[in-house]
Amino acid sequence: MTPRTICLHGPESTGKSTMAPRLARHFDSVCVAEFGRTYCETYGTDLNMADLVIIARAQDAKARAAVVGARAPVILDTDPLMSAVWADMLFGKRDSYFDEWRGTADLYLLFDIDLPWIADGTRFFGTRDRRQEFFDRSKAELVRRDVPWKLVTGEGSKRYLSALSAIAAAGSAAA
């Protein structure tokens, strides 16, 4: 059985926003785009903790609305778990909202840092060490929350096939 919600998770510049609509088209479902990018393009990237909570709450509301009546799986470009990791990366701490939030997806796809980092005006952590730290924190959050997750790797069509394979494997495990 295919998971009802699939959330793309991991550091910036790993192909999540490119992959999300592609997966939604594959499953003839919907994609919930990343609200944080829209927020940063509108208000700038000088974020504080309150901004991250606003982003996370809006992302969660969009996801909950999309699931109602949508064909499964609903593809989530991100969710509040990723905002929690952003808080850790930016501030070394997080608002209590993040640990209290319980609306986790049925499956998380953790995107590897095996793609080149591309500066686009909204990204922060482009050095090899910072990307690795971001990846490690992203993975640790999934493990800490004990949610089902699979790693997605490769470039181009290999990355797409890696995501589809991960989803199929998760569906087989759930059956």
Q: What is the pLDDT along the chain (175 residues), one digit of tens a residue?
A: 567 999 999 998 888 999 999 999 999 999 999 999 899 889 988 899 999 999 999 999 999 999 998 888 999 999 999 999 999 999 999 999 999 999 999 999 999 998 776 666 555 665 788 889 999 999 999 999 999 999 999 998 999 999 999 999 887 655 4
- Rounded to a whole number of angstroms, the CA Rg of the chain reads 15
- Predicted TM-score (pTM) of the model is 0.91
The answer to whether the beta carbons of residues 27 and 75 sit under 8 Å apart is: yes
Length of the chain, in residues = 175
Q: What domains can be seen in the chain, in order of their start residue?
A: 5-174 (3.40.50.300)
Q: How far is CA 174 from CA 25, 42, 150, 159, 164, in A?
A: 23, 40, 13, 23, 15
Q: How far is CA 109 from CA 24, 39, 77, 127, 153, in A?
A: 14, 23, 10, 23, 10
The answer to whether the beta carbons of residues 112 and 151 sit under 8 Å apart is: yes
